[in-house]
Structure formats: structure tokens, C-alpha cells
A and B are shown apart, each in its own frame.
Chain A
């Protein structure tokens, strides 16, 4: 059974026009409630359409990548799923409900960056304490009490050594780990990441995606990430949506990331870069 059962309208239509009918490969219908479902999502900013009837359906336990050129609506779609951006038309359901605030406790979000003054002295320990109900009175609690509550996640994400560091002083890779630890503290079922490796070097990117895979397996999470790095998506995602106002193509990385599909989404010829490992 294909968990990414497409919408009826997509079963026979080749939306991307790339010659592949990716969505039509399995005809079975699934009864499982998708974790994320967007139906005919439309958004325009100042009369300029950004999303023009987006349909997607993400089942549980997958790593799904949203790819597309700048301005294709990836971040807008992610923000809509989080309830931060209202759709002009269409519907969004998380865990089967349109009442998004009621299920936000099951959602973790990793923003691309923090709008924080670098000299704001909030430590990693204090930042992580903001997430839990048990540590919401962190100002009045001892360091030991806070650490007891967050220790397993700290160890899992390898950020124990950063506890006393101000979050404004973390490197890009360290900040992403801390933000994921922040999300995992509430034991979410769905993790959404917006360009998580922007500002991270290539070796850092590789280990970051490996870590996402490990976390997804351990916590049985559904992961949706917006990414611009096609080679990393190719290696680590289990399903890919290529977006450019509409979903141009969807499928496994091997299906979507071919020259025709990517040209359709990006408008120019692009291909995932294969990193070659040299043996010295």
C-alpha cells in the first residue's frame, strides 16, 4: 500500500507535465488518517498568487522534503501548516482535524533562524526550560531541577556541553541541535523544519541529516522539511514534493529528482550533486 495515496484529481493527471505519472503508481486507497493534509491550498500576497491550489497528503513516519526555487511558496506552505499563515482558499488538516491550535502540542517547529539580539544572555538551559510545563517557573527553579527534566533530550542531541552558553552565541549547527532538542522535549508526533541547514557547512549538513534520520526512527516521528539542498534530500528523504506555486511533482527522491521533473519545478536544468568520497 502506498501511504502517499494521492488525491483523486491527481491519480490520472500528470500535474508536472514531466512525462511521469508519479502519483498514479498505486491505486489502493488508504484508510490511515494522514498527519498533514492540504486540500486545494491557495494564498496570494498583494494580489500575487503564491500557492495556487496545493494538494498534499503526508502519512505518519516519513521524512518528507519540500523542494523548489526561491519564491515557490515552500516556507509559506510550511507556515500555513503551522497555522501561522491563513489560507485564502482550501483546507489544512493536522492529524485529521482542521482545529490546528488543538493539536499544536503534537507539533515541533524548527525555524530557520531566531530573531534574537545576539547579546541577549538567555542560556541554552533557560531556553529549553521554556518548552516544558514542569519548568515554566524556571526563573525560580534551581539549575539541577531544570537539568533533571531535560537531561535525556540533552544527551540524545549531544548538547549537554552547551547548557550554559547563550543561545545568541551558538554556531548554526549547534543552534539547530538546540532547536530540535526544544521541539523533542514535548514529545511531538510531527516535526517541521524550515531550511534547517541554511548557514551550516557541508560536513555539518551531512551529520545533521543523519541525526534527523536517527531522531525520526527513535521517536517514530513524521518529519517535514523545507530544503534547498537537493543532494541531501536525495539521500535522506523518503518522499519529495517539488513545489512551484503548485505541487509540480511528487514521489520518491529517485522518481522526482530527475532532469525533467526538476526542470519543471525550477525552470532551468538542475540536478542533485553527488558528493564523491575519496579514499586516501
Chain B
């Protein structure tokens, strides 16, 4: 299995993107940005469609660019209109998907490629994607080291962060930029439909097992690593779709974490 070049690329991408998604996911879930991530992911479909329509062989760039446009549109609409956040996200999500479907219907063929973007495909990952993911990992690790305190403070209360001299606006934009690139890259592995689960489930696995935020970050990163590595290997061995296997591995770990925490709670309760 590990001698196959495509598997080497897939496993390399999986063990990089799993922990990155899990780490960002701690703050995505705490700041209630899960639906935001889902909108970015669905925005990528229009990017893929535009790339295919333009005859591009490399679809990563149009996918990232269109996802970024959706993210910027979301922030702009939130800051400049009275629309509810949910309405803005639903508008952009359905608009992007509709645009993608319309463009793809005008382009003949490529049904297989579309399927791989929707549900993830091991064979679709190239060394270039792994290289971008590795750079992303370094950026996220540097960000964790340098800006963990202001991001945490911003998560607790934005006003408190501003009064503590945190540039909340700049940090918000930087976070959204990192999140968008991470989501767009992870689509290759998990697919548009399932990518948000890698942001949401690892932090959910960590929560019942964590006594503090440090625990949650560490456990979440480990869960992201295990589910992506385990899911990719299982998907090869069972010859089933990669994205679905990763997500189900994640869900399995979540069930184990939940049962463990319930047992721990019960055993720590004093006898009456």
C-alpha cells in the first residue's frame, strides 16, 4: 500500500490536513463558524466548475479563489447589510452551488471529476497539493505559537479583546483566510459534502475528554490525525470512498470518547 505513489501522496496530505483542520476546528466550533465553513466548501463547487469550463488542468487555484470570494462576500454582507448571518450564508451557499451546477451542465463530460470533488478521491491528490498543505501546516503552527492568546481572547469576548489592544478585525480576516485555504485543500481528500466534518468532529471528540482548552487542542489534533490516517488506510483496504471512510472513523472515535467520558463521570460520582 505505502509503495504506491498515489497512496503516499494521499497519506501525506491526510496526516497534514487532519491535524490542521482539527486545530482550526476548535475555534471554528467555539465561534460558531461551522455553517460558515460549509458555505466556503460549497462555494468551491462553483470554482471547480469555472475551472473545468475554462479548460484548466489544475483546479486547486480556481477553487481557492472562488472560496475566498465567497468568504469575502459573506464578511462584506454581514458588515454592510442588516441581513441575518444565517440568511447570508444560505444565500451564498445555494447561489454558489446553483452557479456550479449551471456551468457544469453547459460543459460536456467530466462527470467523474465532479464526483471526486463532491465526495473526495485519493487519486486526485498531487504532490503540489501536499506541498501547499505542508506550507499551510507551518503557517498554522506559527499562528498557534504567535497568536493563540489574542484568538482565544477574541473567542471569549471581542470587546474585551479590543480593549486588550487586539486587532480583532485583522485577526478575523487572517483566520478566515487560513480557514478558506484549509477547507479548499481538504476538499480533495473529503469532498465538498463532507469536508466540514473534519473541522467539527475532532473538537467534539476532545470536548468531553478535556479539562481545559490546552487538553482540547491537543486531543483534537490527535483525533484529526488518527481519523485521517486511519480513514485513508481503511478506504484503500476496503476499496471504498476516502472521504466517507475518514468521516466514519471520526464518528467512531466520537462514540468511543462519549462512552469513555460517561464512564469516567459515573466513576467519579460519590456514593450516596
Point out the residue from A111, A114, A125 that lies within 8 Å of B212, measured CB to CB: A125
Contact indicator B156/A139 (Cβ below 8 Å): no
Q: Which residues on A sit within 8 Å (CB–CB) of B157?
A: 111, 114-116
Contact indicator A121/B152 (Cβ below 8 Å): no
Q: Which residues on A sit within 8 Å (CB–CB) of B1?
A: none
Contact indicator A121/B213 (Cβ below 8 Å): yes
Contact indicator A104/B156 (Cβ below 8 Å): no
Q: Which residues on A sit within 8 Å (CB–CB) of B164?
A: 104, 130-131
Contact indicator A164/B213 (Cβ below 8 Å): no
Interface residues of A in 176-209 (CB under 8 A from B): 182
Is B216 an interface position by the 8 A CB rule?
yes
Contact indicator A139/B163 (Cβ below 8 Å): no
CA distance A164 to B212 in the complex (A): 8
Interface residues of B in 157-202 (CB under 8 A from A): 157-160, 162-165
Q: Which residues on A sit within 8 Å (CB–CB) of B29?
A: 117
Point out the residue from A79, A101, A140 that lies within 8 Å of B165, measured CB to CB: A101
Task: Knowing A101-B165, A136-B149, A139-B148, say if A122 contacts B159 (CB, 8 Å).
Answer: no
> In chain A, what residue has the closest Cβ to B217?
A139
Contact indicator A122/B211 (Cβ below 8 Å): no
Is B262 an interface position by the 8 A CB rule?
no
Instruction: Output the least CB separation between A8 and chain B (Å).
Output: 31
> In chain B, what residue has the closest Cβ to A131?
B164
Interface residues of A in 64-84 (CB under 8 A from B): 79, 82-84
Task: Knowing A104-B165, A109-B159, A138-B149, say if A123 contacts B211 (CB, 8 Å).
Answer: yes
Q: Which residues on A sit within 8 Å (CB–CB) of B145?
A: 137, 140
Task: Knowing A101-B165, A121-B216, A139-B144, say if A82 contacts B156 (CB, 8 Å).
Answer: no
Contact indicator A122/B32 (Cβ below 8 Å): no
> In chain A, what residue has the closest Cβ to B26?
A120
Is A37 an interface position by the 8 A CB rule?
no
Interface residues of B in 119-165 (CB under 8 A from A): 144-145, 148-149, 152-153, 155-160, 162-165
Contact indicator A116/B159 (Cβ below 8 Å): no
How many A residues are at the interface, by size bracket? 20 to 34
Contact indicator per residue, chain B 40-63, by CB within 8 Å of chain A (1) or not (0): 000000000000000000000000
> In chain B, what residue has the closest Cβ to A122?
B213
Q: Tell me the number of A-to-B contacts counted with CB atoms below 8 Å.
A: 82
CA distance A101 to B167 in the complex (A): 11
Contact indicator A122/B158 (Cβ below 8 Å): no
> In chain B, what residue has the closest Cβ to A140?
B145
Is B261 an interface position by the 8 A CB rule?
no
Contact indicator B165/A121 (Cβ below 8 Å): no
Is A266 an interface position by the 8 A CB rule?
no
Contact indicator A82/B153 (Cβ below 8 Å): no
Is B115 an interface position by the 8 A CB rule?
no
Instruction: Output the least CB separation between A277 and chain B (Å).
Output: 36
Contact indicator A122/B160 (Cβ below 8 Å): no
Contact indicator B156/A167 (Cβ below 8 Å): yes
Q: Which residues on B sit within 8 Å (CB–CB) of A115?
A: 156-158
Contact indicator B214/A139 (Cβ below 8 Å): yes
Is A62 an interface position by the 8 A CB rule?
no
Instruction: Output the least CB separation between B146 and chain A (Å).
Output: 9
Q: Which residues on A sit within 8 Å (CB–CB) of B159?
A: 79, 82, 84, 109, 111
Q: Which residues on B sit within 8 Å (CB–CB) of A119?
A: 207
> In chain A, what residue has the closest Cβ to B149?
A136
Contact indicator A120/B149 (Cβ below 8 Å): no
Q: Which residues on A sit within 8 Å (CB–CB) of B217?
A: 139
Interface residues of A in 8-64 (CB under 8 A from B): none
Is A97 an interface position by the 8 A CB rule?
no
Is A240 an interface position by the 8 A CB rule?
no
Contact indicator B144/A122 (Cβ below 8 Å): no
Contact indicator per residue, chain B 18-33, by CB within 8 Å of chain A (1) or not (0): 0000000000011010
Is A107 an interface position by the 8 A CB rule?
yes
Instruction: Output the least CB separation between B99 and chain A (Å).
Output: 33
Q: Which residues on B sit within 8 Å (CB–CB) of A127?
A: 156
Is B69 an interface position by the 8 A CB rule?
no
7 of the cross-chain contacts (CB-CB < 8 Å) are A120-B213, A121-B207, A122-B152, A122-B156, A130-B152, A131-B164, A138-B149
**Further contacts, 18 of them, CB under 8 A, given A82-B163, A109-B160, A122-B213:** A104-B163, A114-B156, A115-B156, A116-B157, A117-B30, A120-B30, A120-B213, A122-B152, A122-B155, A122-B156, A123-B211, A123-B212, A126-B213, A126-B214, A137-B145, A138-B214, A139-B148, A164-B211
Closest 10 CB pairs of A and B: A123-B212, A109-B163, A122-B213, A136-B149, A120-B30, A121-B210, A130-B153, A114-B157, A121-B216, A130-B149
Chain A residues close to B by CB (< 8 Å): 79, 82-84, 101, 104-105, 107, 109, 111, 114-117, 119-123, 125-127, 129-131, 136-140, 164, 166-167, 182
